[in-house]
Structure 1
Amino acid sequence: MAAGRLRATILGFAGVAVVFAVLFSVAGVDALLARLAAADRPLVALVALVTLCWLAAWGVSLWVVLDALGVPASVPDALLIFAGAMFANNVTPFGQAGGEPITALLISRITDTEYETGLAAIASVDTLNFVPSITIAVVGVGYYVTETAFGTSQRLELALAAVVGLAVGVPALGYLAWTRRYRLETRVVGVVTTVARRVAGRLPRVPTPTAEGIERRIDGFFRAIERVADHPRRLALALALSAAGWLFQMLALWLAFRAIGTPIPLSVALFVVPIGAIAGVTPLPGGAGGIESVLVVLLVAAPLAGVTEPVALAAVVVFRGMVYWLPTIIGGVVAAVVGFRARAWSV
């Protein structure tokens, strides 16, 4: 399994390299490098600082959720766990979907709690992070409509339709799934049992799981989600911290444009950052390449003075360079330390 995961990661980063090669060739490598070389370094450093504020806000949000679940974790623990979560998301295909199981294991080892509880915690945080992102995007689009002739860009009209569709469709699907969670649990148990038995049958020293054991774990996951839902005040605090994290990300993109000498309205950052984040579900690790491409397309499509392909890509490189690599480096160190300790304890 480890070899298969490594192979998928290598293929994913190869895809990222191809996407960036195409993106750089379209924007022009020389123009891009010239923009980056002329960037205001103090403002670039400020982008890094704001990025750390984003990590801190979402890390504390994770601590609030863990506290609601009764998991004994300190705020520093939660900050380190969240950095590890971002590392897992950024190096595995399909972003959060690929990184959540690894993050759940990280929570389990650092806090000495059940794996299902850790999975419920990070799944709750990811769900909570979705709500303010779409809300802020709708506000940003609405405000931007009042500032410019929005109808002149078909791409921006499509972006507006996507935001509205997500704002209505995803909560509706989530509500339906939650009201039918026990019926869904029965179906999931059947599918997971079949897959798990096939995998276990091909691996040495791996016991074949029983349907009862899998059902107990899935039931534990749903019970943990319910415990989070039973604390509305903590949920409200986690949502506020999530919204603050998104605003820090959007501020980072706005500062990145100022750093390269081409300011943009903050309202543009309010809606392009959440829409760009949707590309994180692609098979590329952490959405790298996909998110940058979506951001550049949206920024160039907007009628913004002076925002050409090289300008947009230069600002996105500064922004994503911080948002992607800072948590990847910090989280990588956390994951390595936890892995080393786990091996030391097993000896």
Structure 2
Amino acid sequence: MARENLRATVLGFLGAFAVFALLFYFAGVEELVDTLQMADVGTVGLVVLTTLAWLAAWSLALRTVLGVLGVDLSLAKSFFIFSGAMFSNNITPFGQAGGEPVTAYLISQSADAEYETSLAAIASVDTLNFVPSITIALVGAAYYATEVTLGTNRNLVLALAAVVVLAVAVPALGYTTWQYRYQLEDRIVSALTPAIRTVARYVPRAPVPTETGVERRIDGFFRAIERVATNPRGLAIALGASAFGWFCQMLGLWLSFRAIGIDIPLSIAMLVVPIGAIAGVTPLPGGAGGIETVLVALLLAAPLPTVTRSIAVAAIVIFRGAVYWVPTLLGGGVMAWVSFVGSRS
């Protein structure tokens, strides 16, 4: 199992490197390097600070959700745990979908919480983070439409149409799932119980769980999700923290252009950052390569006369360099520490 996961991760990074090579070739390597060398170091430092502010905001959302589930955690500890979560997402194919089980294990070990509670917490945070992103993207598009005619560019119109579809489809899917949550729980229990018990038989030193035990844990996961969804105060705080985190990311992209002497409307950043994040579901570690390509395509599609290929790629390199590598390095240290402590206990 571990060998297969390692193989998938290695293949994912090789795919990401191939995408980056094509992207840099598209921008022109020499011109890209020259543009990056002109970047203002102080402004790049501000991009890093906005990244840390984003991590702190989403850490607060995680802390709030865990608090609703009865797990008390300090903001500092939740910051490092969330950094570890981002590390697992950034090195795992399919981004958050692939990294959530690892993240749940990290939370359970660091916060002394049950695994299903930890999984419900990070799943809730990831879901809550989606809501403000779509809302902000719609606001950014609406504001930008007052400055230019979106209809003059087919790519931007398609991107906006995708956001509108998601804004309608995701809440509808969530509402339907919530209404039939008990039936869904029964079907998941029936489908997963035999599979979990079969896998456990081939895992060394892992006890084979009873059917009752598997049902209890899956039921615990759903009960935890329900507790979060029915806590208005917790939802409001988590959504507010999530929205502020998204704003920090958008500000980071805007500052990345400022670092190389280019001004873009903040509304453009509000539009493209959430859409770019959707590319994180690609089978590349943390969406690396896919997110950058989508962001560059959207920026070049926008009517920004001063944004050339090399400038767009250079700004994205600065922005994603901070957003991807800061949590990866911090989270990597957290994961190493947890593994070290776990091996000694």
Q: TM-score, normalised by structure 1?
A: 0.97
> By how many angstroms is 1:189 displaced?
1.6
d(CA) in 1 for partners of 2:191, 2:31: 52
- Residue type of the alignment partner of 2:90: N
> By how many angstroms is 1:145 displaced?
0.9
> By how many angstroms is 1:305 displaced?
1.7
Identify the residue that residue 344 of structure 2 maps to in structure 1: 344
State the superposition RMSD in angstroms: 1.1
Mapped contact 1:190–1:211 kept (Cα < 8 A)? no
- Residue type of the alignment partner of 2:116: E
- Residue type of the alignment partner of 2:25: S
Identify the residue that residue 158 of structure 1 maps to in structure 2: 158
Identify the residue that residue 249 of structure 1 maps to in structure 2: 249
Identify the residue that residue 76 of structure 1 maps to in structure 2: 76
> By how many angstroms is 1:200 displaced?
3.0
Q: Give the alignment of 1:78-157 within 5 angstroms.
A: 78-157=78-157
Identical aligned residues as a percent: 64
Identify the residue that residue 21 of structure 2 maps to in structure 1: 21
Identify the residue that residue 294 of structure 2 maps to in structure 1: 294
d(CA) in 1 for partners of 2:234, 2:186: 30
Identify the residue that residue 191 of structure 2 maps to in structure 1: 191
Task: Give 3-state SS (helix, strand or coil) of 1:306's partner.
Answer: coil
Task: Give 3-state SS (helix, strand or coil) of 2:146's partner.
Answer: helix
- Residue type of the alignment partner of 2:248: F
Task: Give 3-state SS (helix, strand or coil) of 2:272's partner.
Answer: helix
Equivalent residues, number = 345
Q: For structure 1, which segment, 86-95 or 183-192, has the greater mean C-alpha deviation from structure 2 after superposition?
A: 183-192
d(CA) in 2 for partners of 1:203, 1:232: 41
d(CA) in 1 for partners of 2:172, 2:77: 34
> By how many angstroms is 1:4 displaced?
1.4
Stretches of structure 2 lacking an aligned partner (at least 5 in a row): none
In structure 2, the CA distance between the partners of 1:300 and 1:247, relative to structure 1 (3 Å rule), is same
d(CA) in 2 for partners of 1:309, 1:332: 32
> By how many angstroms is 1:334 displaced?
0.5
> By how many angstroms is 1:124 displaced?
0.9
| 2:16 equivalent to 1:51 | no
d(CA) in 2 for partners of 1:178, 1:9: 33
Identify the residue that residue 181 of structure 2 maps to in structure 1: 181
Identify the residue that residue 64 of structure 1 maps to in structure 2: 64
Identify the residue that residue 318 of structure 1 maps to in structure 2: 318
Identify the residue that residue 228 of structure 1 maps to in structure 2: 228
d(CA) in 2 for partners of 1:227, 1:334: 28
Identify the residue that residue 200 of structure 1 maps to in structure 2: 200
Q: TM-score, normalised by structure 2?
A: 0.98
- Residue type of the alignment partner of 1:176: T
d(CA) in 2 for partners of 1:112, 1:329: 24
- Residue type of the alignment partner of 2:142: G
Stretches of structure 1 lacking an aligned partner (at least 5 in a row): none
Task: Give 3-state SS (helix, strand or coil) of 2:73's partner.
Answer: coil
- Residue type of the alignment partner of 1:290: G
Identify the residue that residue 330 of structure 2 maps to in structure 1: 330
d(CA) in 2 for partners of 1:14, 1:310: 23
Task: Give 3-state SS (helix, strand or coil) of 1:92's partner.
Answer: coil
Mapped contact 1:189–1:211 kept (Cα < 8 A)? no
